[in-house]
Amino acid sequence: MITLKHSYPAVSPEKATHEALLAKFQATVQRADIGFFRHTTDKSVAILAKTTARRFAHKKLLVHVGIGGSSLGPEMLLSALGVEDGKSVQFLNNIDADMLARQERRWVMPDTFFYIVSKSGGTAETLAALSIILKWLEKNSVSESQWKEHIVICTDPQKGELRQFAREHQLSCLDVPPSVGGRFSVLTDVGLFTAAWAGVNVDQLIHGAEAIKHQLLEASADKNILTLTAAWLEQQRAAGKTLTVLMPYSSLLKEFTAWWVQLWAESLGKDGKGLTPVMAYGASDQHSQMQLFMQGPADKTMIFLRTDVGNMDYPLASQIKLPGMQALAPFKLSQLMEAEYSGTLTALQESQRPLLDFAVGKVNAESLGGLIVFFESLTALVGVASGIDPFNQPGVEAGKKYAHEWLGRNRP
Ligand code: PA5
Protein backbone atom coordinates (compact mmCIF):
# COMPACT_ATOMS: atom_id res chain seq x y z
CA MET A 1 0.00 0.00 0.00
CA ILE A 2 1.45 3.37 -1.02
CA THR A 3 0.45 6.23 1.27
CA LEU A 4 0.94 9.95 0.94
CA LYS A 5 2.36 10.96 4.33
CA HIS A 6 2.84 14.63 3.76
CA SER A 7 2.93 17.27 1.10
CA TYR A 8 4.25 20.80 0.85
CA PRO A 9 2.34 22.87 -0.03
CA ALA A 10 -0.64 20.95 1.31
CA VAL A 11 -2.72 18.99 -1.17
CA SER A 12 -6.23 20.40 -1.11
CA PRO A 13 -8.57 17.64 -2.23
CA GLU A 14 -11.43 19.18 -4.16
CA LYS A 15 -14.16 16.69 -4.88
CA ALA A 16 -14.99 18.15 -8.29
CA THR A 17 -11.35 18.08 -9.44
CA HIS A 18 -10.95 14.53 -8.13
CA GLU A 19 -14.08 13.37 -9.93
CA ALA A 20 -13.13 15.04 -13.20
CA LEU A 21 -9.63 13.52 -13.11
CA LEU A 22 -10.93 10.09 -12.14
CA ALA A 23 -13.46 10.17 -14.99
CA LYS A 24 -10.64 11.02 -17.43
CA PHE A 25 -8.52 8.19 -16.06
CA GLN A 26 -11.34 5.65 -16.20
CA ALA A 27 -12.21 6.63 -19.77
CA THR A 28 -8.54 6.23 -20.72
CA VAL A 29 -7.97 2.80 -19.20
CA GLN A 30 -11.23 1.51 -20.65
CA ARG A 31 -10.06 2.26 -24.21
CA ALA A 32 -9.58 -0.94 -26.21
CA ASP A 33 -6.27 0.36 -27.60
CA ILE A 34 -4.81 1.17 -24.14
CA GLY A 35 -3.87 -2.04 -22.34
CA PHE A 36 -1.36 -1.08 -19.63
CA PHE A 37 -3.91 -1.04 -16.79
CA ARG A 38 -5.74 -4.17 -17.94
CA HIS A 39 -3.13 -6.63 -19.06
CA THR A 40 -2.00 -7.78 -15.61
CA THR A 41 -5.41 -9.39 -15.04
CA ASP A 42 -4.59 -11.92 -17.77
CA LYS A 43 -3.01 -14.75 -15.76
CA SER A 44 -1.78 -16.57 -18.87
CA VAL A 45 0.97 -13.95 -19.37
CA ALA A 46 2.82 -14.78 -16.13
CA ILE A 47 2.18 -18.49 -16.63
CA LEU A 48 3.81 -18.42 -20.06
CA ALA A 49 6.75 -16.39 -18.70
CA LYS A 50 7.31 -18.94 -15.93
CA THR A 51 6.96 -22.07 -18.08
CA THR A 52 9.28 -20.67 -20.75
CA ALA A 53 11.77 -19.59 -18.06
CA ARG A 54 11.74 -23.12 -16.60
CA ARG A 55 12.77 -24.55 -19.98
CA PHE A 56 15.93 -22.46 -19.75
CA ALA A 57 16.52 -22.97 -16.03
CA HIS A 58 19.70 -24.99 -16.68
CA LYS A 59 21.40 -21.92 -18.26
CA LYS A 60 23.63 -19.67 -16.17
CA LEU A 61 23.68 -16.41 -18.11
CA LEU A 62 20.73 -14.63 -19.70
CA VAL A 63 21.56 -11.79 -22.08
CA HIS A 64 18.50 -9.55 -22.32
CA VAL A 65 18.66 -7.63 -25.61
CA GLY A 66 16.45 -4.57 -26.16
CA ILE A 67 16.46 -0.79 -25.93
CA GLY A 68 14.25 1.87 -24.29
CA GLY A 69 11.02 0.34 -23.03
CA SER A 70 12.24 -3.10 -24.05
CA SER A 71 15.05 -2.97 -21.50
CA LEU A 72 14.62 -0.29 -18.82
CA GLY A 73 11.71 -2.08 -17.10
CA PRO A 74 13.42 -5.47 -16.77
CA GLU A 75 16.64 -3.73 -15.63
CA MET A 76 14.65 -1.97 -12.92
CA LEU A 77 12.97 -5.21 -11.78
CA LEU A 78 16.23 -7.05 -11.29
CA SER A 79 18.03 -4.13 -9.75
CA ALA A 80 15.26 -3.89 -7.12
CA LEU A 81 14.58 -7.57 -6.55
CA GLY A 82 17.91 -9.26 -7.34
CA VAL A 83 18.96 -12.37 -9.24
CA GLU A 84 19.11 -15.77 -7.57
CA ASP A 85 22.48 -17.30 -6.73
CA GLY A 86 24.21 -19.16 -9.54
CA LYS A 87 22.61 -17.08 -12.32
CA SER A 88 23.46 -13.76 -13.93
CA VAL A 89 21.73 -11.41 -16.32
CA GLN A 90 23.35 -8.94 -18.70
CA PHE A 91 21.48 -6.15 -20.44
CA LEU A 92 22.59 -5.49 -23.97
CA ASN A 93 20.78 -2.18 -24.25
CA ASN A 94 22.95 -0.05 -26.49
CA ILE A 95 25.03 -0.23 -29.64
CA ASP A 96 28.33 0.38 -27.96
CA ALA A 97 31.07 -1.85 -29.36
CA ASP A 98 33.36 -1.34 -26.35
CA MET A 99 30.66 -2.37 -23.91
CA LEU A 100 29.59 -5.29 -26.08
CA ALA A 101 33.16 -6.55 -26.22
CA ARG A 102 33.31 -6.48 -22.43
CA GLN A 103 29.96 -8.28 -22.12
CA GLU A 104 30.82 -10.85 -24.79
CA ARG A 105 33.88 -11.97 -22.84
CA ARG A 106 31.49 -13.52 -20.31
CA TRP A 107 29.40 -15.47 -22.86
CA VAL A 108 30.18 -19.18 -22.73
CA MET A 109 28.62 -22.19 -24.38
CA PRO A 110 26.33 -23.94 -23.56
CA ASP A 111 25.40 -21.83 -20.49
CA THR A 112 24.42 -18.58 -22.21
CA PHE A 113 21.13 -17.73 -23.88
CA PHE A 114 19.61 -14.60 -25.37
CA TYR A 115 16.24 -12.93 -24.89
CA ILE A 116 15.60 -10.59 -27.83
CA VAL A 117 12.89 -8.04 -27.08
CA SER A 118 11.43 -5.57 -29.54
CA LYS A 119 7.78 -4.67 -29.78
CA SER A 120 8.08 -3.44 -33.35
CA GLY A 121 10.53 -6.16 -34.28
CA GLY A 122 12.38 -3.66 -36.46
CA THR A 123 14.48 -1.51 -34.11
CA ALA A 124 17.92 -1.10 -35.66
CA GLU A 125 19.87 -1.33 -32.38
CA THR A 126 18.21 -4.61 -31.42
CA LEU A 127 18.52 -6.17 -34.88
CA ALA A 128 22.20 -5.17 -34.96
CA ALA A 129 22.72 -6.98 -31.64
CA LEU A 130 20.88 -10.04 -32.94
CA SER A 131 23.07 -10.10 -36.02
CA ILE A 132 26.21 -10.06 -33.82
CA ILE A 133 24.78 -12.76 -31.56
CA LEU A 134 24.00 -15.05 -34.51
CA LYS A 135 27.60 -14.71 -35.68
CA TRP A 136 28.81 -15.51 -32.17
CA LEU A 137 26.62 -18.63 -32.11
CA GLU A 138 28.02 -19.70 -35.45
CA LYS A 139 31.57 -19.15 -34.19
CA ASN A 140 30.68 -21.38 -31.24
CA SER A 141 29.45 -24.18 -33.51
CA VAL A 142 25.74 -23.63 -32.88
CA SER A 143 23.88 -24.53 -36.09
CA GLU A 144 20.69 -22.80 -37.24
CA SER A 145 18.61 -25.78 -36.14
CA GLN A 146 20.01 -25.32 -32.58
CA TRP A 147 19.18 -21.60 -32.29
CA LYS A 148 15.98 -22.49 -30.40
CA GLU A 149 18.14 -23.71 -27.50
CA HIS A 150 19.81 -20.31 -27.20
CA ILE A 151 17.32 -17.67 -28.31
CA VAL A 152 13.90 -16.58 -27.05
CA ILE A 153 12.05 -13.74 -28.78
CA CYS A 154 9.49 -11.29 -27.43
CA THR A 155 7.62 -9.14 -29.95
CA ASP A 156 4.23 -8.26 -31.44
CA PRO A 157 2.02 -11.37 -31.60
CA GLN A 158 1.42 -11.06 -35.35
CA LYS A 159 3.53 -8.44 -37.04
CA GLY A 160 7.17 -7.57 -37.59
CA GLU A 161 10.44 -9.06 -38.72
CA LEU A 162 11.24 -10.72 -35.38
CA ARG A 163 7.93 -12.62 -35.31
CA GLN A 164 8.67 -13.87 -38.80
CA PHE A 165 12.23 -14.80 -37.79
CA ALA A 166 10.93 -16.73 -34.76
CA ARG A 167 8.41 -18.62 -36.88
CA GLU A 168 11.01 -19.55 -39.51
CA HIS A 169 13.39 -20.94 -36.89
CA GLN A 170 10.82 -22.41 -34.46
CA LEU A 171 12.06 -20.18 -31.64
CA SER A 172 10.06 -19.70 -28.43
CA CYS A 173 8.27 -16.42 -28.94
CA LEU A 174 6.45 -14.38 -26.27
CA ASP A 175 4.15 -11.44 -26.88
CA VAL A 176 4.21 -7.70 -26.37
CA PRO A 177 0.48 -6.95 -26.52
CA PRO A 178 -0.28 -4.42 -29.31
CA SER A 179 -2.25 -2.28 -26.82
CA VAL A 180 0.75 -1.86 -24.47
CA GLY A 181 3.46 0.63 -25.44
CA GLY A 182 7.13 -0.22 -24.85
CA ARG A 183 7.57 2.00 -21.79
CA PHE A 184 4.39 0.58 -20.21
CA SER A 185 5.34 -3.03 -20.94
CA VAL A 186 7.45 -4.08 -17.94
CA LEU A 187 4.70 -6.28 -16.50
CA THR A 188 4.11 -8.09 -19.81
CA ASP A 189 6.46 -10.88 -20.83
CA VAL A 190 9.00 -8.15 -21.71
CA GLY A 191 9.86 -8.02 -18.00
CA LEU A 192 8.16 -11.10 -16.59
CA PHE A 193 10.23 -13.65 -18.53
CA THR A 194 13.57 -12.17 -17.46
CA ALA A 195 12.32 -11.72 -13.90
CA ALA A 196 10.94 -15.27 -13.69
CA TRP A 197 14.20 -16.75 -15.01
CA ALA A 198 16.18 -14.68 -12.47
CA GLY A 199 14.09 -16.12 -9.63
CA VAL A 200 11.75 -13.18 -8.97
CA ASN A 201 8.31 -14.12 -7.65
CA VAL A 202 6.34 -12.81 -10.62
CA ASP A 203 3.04 -13.83 -9.04
CA GLN A 204 3.73 -11.41 -6.17
CA LEU A 205 4.65 -8.71 -8.67
CA ILE A 206 1.34 -9.17 -10.48
CA HIS A 207 -0.52 -9.42 -7.19
CA GLY A 208 0.89 -6.02 -6.15
CA ALA A 209 -0.02 -4.55 -9.53
CA GLU A 210 -3.59 -5.79 -9.25
CA ALA A 211 -3.99 -4.83 -5.60
CA ILE A 212 -3.27 -1.12 -6.11
CA LYS A 213 -5.90 -0.72 -8.82
CA HIS A 214 -8.66 -0.67 -6.24
CA GLN A 215 -6.84 2.10 -4.33
CA LEU A 216 -6.47 4.19 -7.51
CA LEU A 217 -10.00 3.71 -8.79
CA GLU A 218 -12.05 3.63 -5.61
CA ALA A 219 -10.37 5.84 -2.99
CA SER A 220 -12.20 9.05 -2.08
CA ALA A 221 -11.00 12.55 -2.98
CA ASP A 222 -8.98 13.02 0.24
CA LYS A 223 -7.21 9.64 -0.05
CA ASN A 224 -6.81 9.04 -3.76
CA ILE A 225 -3.05 9.23 -4.39
CA LEU A 226 -3.60 9.23 -8.15
CA THR A 227 -5.92 12.20 -8.44
CA LEU A 228 -4.28 14.08 -5.54
CA THR A 229 -0.85 13.79 -7.11
CA ALA A 230 -2.06 14.70 -10.61
CA ALA A 231 -3.96 17.76 -9.29
CA TRP A 232 -1.01 18.87 -7.15
CA LEU A 233 1.45 18.50 -10.03
CA GLU A 234 -0.83 20.56 -12.27
CA GLN A 235 -1.03 23.34 -9.65
CA GLN A 236 2.73 23.33 -9.40
CA ARG A 237 3.18 23.29 -13.18
CA ALA A 238 0.93 26.33 -13.45
CA ALA A 239 3.25 28.01 -10.91
CA GLY A 240 6.25 27.34 -13.15
CA LYS A 241 7.53 24.07 -11.66
CA THR A 242 8.27 22.15 -14.83
CA LEU A 243 10.90 19.70 -13.54
CA THR A 244 9.92 16.61 -11.55
CA VAL A 245 12.51 15.00 -9.30
CA LEU A 246 11.82 11.42 -8.21
CA MET A 247 13.91 10.51 -5.19
CA PRO A 248 13.49 7.16 -3.46
CA TYR A 249 15.56 6.68 -0.32
CA SER A 250 16.75 3.27 -1.42
CA SER A 251 19.58 2.00 -3.60
CA LEU A 252 17.28 -0.81 -4.72
CA LEU A 253 15.02 1.75 -6.39
CA LYS A 254 17.78 3.67 -8.18
CA GLU A 255 17.02 1.98 -11.52
CA PHE A 256 13.31 2.48 -10.84
CA THR A 257 13.95 6.18 -11.36
CA ALA A 258 15.73 5.46 -14.68
CA TRP A 259 12.69 3.47 -15.83
CA TRP A 260 10.42 6.31 -14.69
CA VAL A 261 12.53 8.92 -16.55
CA GLN A 262 11.66 7.28 -19.87
CA LEU A 263 8.01 6.86 -18.89
CA TRP A 264 7.67 10.51 -17.84
CA ALA A 265 9.75 12.06 -20.63
CA GLU A 266 8.58 10.03 -23.61
CA SER A 267 4.93 10.06 -22.55
CA LEU A 268 4.55 13.70 -21.55
CA GLY A 269 7.03 15.60 -23.72
CA LYS A 270 4.85 16.65 -26.66
CA ASP A 271 3.28 19.68 -28.31
CA GLY A 272 5.65 22.02 -26.46
CA LYS A 273 4.44 20.58 -23.15
CA GLY A 274 6.01 18.21 -20.65
CA LEU A 275 7.55 17.86 -17.22
CA THR A 276 11.27 17.19 -17.31
CA PRO A 277 12.18 14.16 -15.16
CA VAL A 278 15.20 14.23 -12.88
CA MET A 279 16.40 11.02 -11.26
CA ALA A 280 17.90 11.04 -7.80
CA TYR A 281 18.20 8.68 -4.85
CA GLY A 282 18.83 9.10 -1.19
CA ALA A 283 20.85 9.44 0.81
CA SER A 284 23.58 9.56 -1.89
CA ASP A 285 22.15 12.52 -3.80
CA GLN A 286 22.16 14.62 -0.64
CA HIS A 287 25.89 14.76 -1.37
CA SER A 288 25.40 15.51 -5.05
CA GLN A 289 22.28 17.17 -6.46
CA MET A 290 20.56 18.28 -3.24
CA GLN A 291 22.30 21.66 -3.06
CA LEU A 292 20.73 22.54 -6.43
CA PHE A 293 17.34 21.17 -5.42
CA MET A 294 17.39 23.21 -2.23
CA GLN A 295 18.78 26.56 -3.36
CA GLY A 296 18.94 26.46 -7.17
CA PRO A 297 16.18 27.58 -9.56
CA ALA A 298 12.72 27.19 -8.00
CA ASP A 299 11.45 25.19 -10.99
CA LYS A 300 11.13 21.71 -9.48
CA THR A 301 8.69 19.52 -7.64
CA MET A 302 10.10 16.62 -5.68
CA ILE A 303 8.49 13.22 -5.19
CA PHE A 304 10.07 11.31 -2.30
CA LEU A 305 9.63 7.60 -1.71
CA ARG A 306 10.50 6.41 1.78
CA THR A 307 11.00 2.68 2.13
CA ASP A 308 11.11 0.35 5.12
CA VAL A 309 14.22 -1.68 5.75
CA GLY A 310 14.01 -5.32 4.56
CA ASN A 311 15.07 -8.28 6.69
CA MET A 312 18.51 -7.02 7.55
CA ASP A 313 19.65 -4.03 9.58
CA TYR A 314 23.02 -3.06 11.09
CA PRO A 315 23.57 -1.69 14.62
CA LEU A 316 26.06 1.16 14.67
CA ALA A 317 27.28 0.45 18.23
CA SER A 318 31.04 0.74 18.37
CA GLN A 319 33.93 0.61 20.90
CA ILE A 320 35.80 3.23 18.90
CA LYS A 321 35.79 6.50 20.78
CA LEU A 322 35.61 8.84 17.78
CA PRO A 323 32.90 11.43 18.63
CA GLY A 324 31.30 11.05 15.18
CA MET A 325 30.98 7.29 15.64
CA GLN A 326 29.73 7.59 19.19
CA ALA A 327 26.97 9.97 18.05
CA LEU A 328 25.76 7.17 15.78
CA ALA A 329 26.31 4.34 18.25
CA PRO A 330 22.78 4.08 19.75
CA PHE A 331 21.22 3.74 16.31
CA LYS A 332 20.83 1.27 13.47
CA LEU A 333 21.77 1.99 9.87
CA SER A 334 18.11 2.29 8.84
CA GLN A 335 17.57 4.94 11.54
CA LEU A 336 20.37 7.01 10.07
CA MET A 337 18.54 6.81 6.73
CA GLU A 338 15.37 7.95 8.48
CA ALA A 339 17.22 10.90 10.02
CA GLU A 340 18.67 11.91 6.65
CA TYR A 341 15.26 11.61 5.00
CA SER A 342 13.43 13.64 7.56
CA GLY A 343 16.21 16.27 7.80
CA THR A 344 16.21 16.76 4.04
CA LEU A 345 12.44 17.16 3.85
CA THR A 346 12.44 19.73 6.66
CA ALA A 347 15.24 21.73 5.03
CA LEU A 348 13.52 21.63 1.62
CA GLN A 349 10.31 22.84 3.14
CA GLU A 350 12.15 25.69 4.87
CA SER A 351 13.45 26.64 1.42
CA GLN A 352 9.84 26.51 0.18
CA ARG A 353 10.51 23.70 -2.28
CA PRO A 354 7.33 21.77 -3.18
CA LEU A 355 7.41 18.11 -2.26
CA LEU A 356 5.34 14.97 -1.89
CA ASP A 357 6.35 12.40 0.72
CA PHE A 358 5.17 8.86 -0.05
CA ALA A 359 5.68 5.74 2.11
CA VAL A 360 5.95 2.55 0.08
CA GLY A 361 6.85 -0.09 2.70
CA LYS A 362 9.53 -2.71 2.09
CA VAL A 363 10.96 -3.05 -1.39
CA ASN A 364 9.68 -6.44 -2.56
CA ALA A 365 7.90 -7.90 -5.57
CA GLU A 366 4.48 -6.95 -4.28
CA SER A 367 5.27 -3.32 -3.43
CA LEU A 368 7.18 -2.90 -6.69
CA GLY A 369 4.18 -4.15 -8.71
CA GLY A 370 2.07 -1.49 -7.00
CA LEU A 371 4.63 1.27 -7.56
CA ILE A 372 4.88 0.43 -11.26
CA VAL A 373 1.12 0.65 -11.77
CA PHE A 374 0.91 3.85 -9.72
CA PHE A 375 3.55 5.65 -11.80
CA GLU A 376 2.19 4.30 -15.10
CA SER A 377 -1.29 5.48 -14.11
CA LEU A 378 -0.02 8.87 -12.96
CA THR A 379 1.84 9.34 -16.24
CA ALA A 380 -1.24 8.44 -18.26
CA LEU A 381 -3.47 10.76 -16.22
CA VAL A 382 -1.08 13.73 -16.24
CA GLY A 383 -0.82 13.27 -20.02
CA VAL A 384 -4.53 13.08 -20.83
CA ALA A 385 -5.31 15.87 -18.34
CA SER A 386 -2.84 18.16 -20.10
CA GLY A 387 -4.37 17.37 -23.49
CA ILE A 388 -1.55 15.35 -25.04
CA ASP A 389 -1.43 11.70 -26.11
CA PRO A 390 0.82 10.01 -23.52
CA PHE A 391 0.89 6.74 -25.44
CA ASN A 392 2.62 7.73 -28.67
CA GLN A 393 6.21 8.78 -29.34
CA PRO A 394 6.33 10.61 -32.68
CA GLY A 395 9.72 12.16 -31.86
CA VAL A 396 11.31 8.76 -31.24
CA GLU A 397 9.76 7.37 -34.43
CA ALA A 398 11.07 10.33 -36.44
CA GLY A 399 14.61 9.66 -35.17
CA LYS A 400 14.30 5.97 -36.11
CA LYS A 401 13.06 6.88 -39.60
CA TYR A 402 15.92 9.32 -40.29
CA ALA A 403 18.50 6.83 -39.02
CA HIS A 404 17.15 4.28 -41.54
CA GLU A 405 17.24 6.89 -44.30
CA TRP A 406 20.87 7.66 -43.41
CA LEU A 407 21.72 3.95 -43.68
CA GLY A 408 19.98 3.82 -47.08
CA ARG A 409 21.95 6.85 -48.37
CA ASN A 410 25.32 5.71 -47.01
CA ARG A 411 25.38 2.03 -48.02
CA PRO A 412 29.05 1.13 -48.63
O1 PA5 B 1 8.45 3.18 -25.18
C2 PA5 B 1 8.67 3.04 -26.37
O3 PA5 B 1 7.77 2.85 -27.19
C4 PA5 B 1 10.09 3.07 -26.91
O5 PA5 B 1 11.01 3.53 -26.00
C6 PA5 B 1 10.49 1.66 -27.34
O7 PA5 B 1 10.43 0.81 -26.22
C8 PA5 B 1 11.90 1.63 -27.94
O9 PA5 B 1 12.01 2.57 -28.98
C10 PA5 B 1 12.21 0.23 -28.47
O11 PA5 B 1 11.26 -0.15 -29.42
P12 PA5 B 1 11.01 -1.66 -29.77
O13 PA5 B 1 10.51 -2.35 -28.55
O14 PA5 B 1 10.00 -1.63 -30.86
O15 PA5 B 1 12.32 -2.24 -30.23
The confidence score (pLDDT) of residue 200 equals 98
The confidence score (pLDDT) of residue 12 equals 82
For ligand 1, atom 2, name the residue with the nearest CA. 182
The confidence score (pLDDT) of residue 13 equals 80
CA end-to-end distance (rounded Å), the chain: 57
Q: Give yes or no for a contact between 150 and 108, defined as CB atoms under 8 angstroms apart.
A: no
Tens of pLDDT, residues 145-161: 999 999 999 999 999 99
Q: Is the pTM of this model over 0.75?
A: yes
Q: Give yes or no for a contact between 260 and 248, defined as CB atoms under 8 angstroms apart.
A: no
Rg (CA), the chain: 23
At residue 34, φ and ψ (nearest 5 deg) are -115, 105
Tens of pLDDT, residues 38-95: 999 999 999 999 999 999 999 999 999 999 999 999 999 999 999 999 999 999 999 9
For ligand 1, atom 9, name the residue with the nearest CA. 68
Of all helices (H) and strands (E), which one includes residue 117?
strand 112-117
The confidence score (pLDDT) of residue 399 equals 87
Ligand 1 lined by 265 (C-beta under 6 Å): no
The Cβ of residue 387 has, within 10 Å, a number of other Cβ atoms equal to: 9
Sequence ranges of the chain with CATH classification 3.40.50.10490? 3-29+212-394, 39-203
Ligand 1 lined by 393 (C-beta under 6 Å): yes
Strand partners of residue 247: 304
Which CATH class for the 3-29+212-394 domain?
A: alpha beta
The confidence score (pLDDT) of residue 261 equals 98
Q: 39-203 in CATH: which number?
A: 3.40.50.10490
The confidence score (pLDDT) of residue 263 equals 98
The confidence score (pLDDT) of residue 165 equals 97
Q: Which sequence positions are flagged as catalytic?
A: 266, 287, 400
Whole-number Å distance, alpha carbon 396 to ligand 1 midpoint, is: 8
- Out of 72, 94, 120, mutate this one to test ligand 1's pocket (max ligand atoms within 8 Å of CB): namely 120
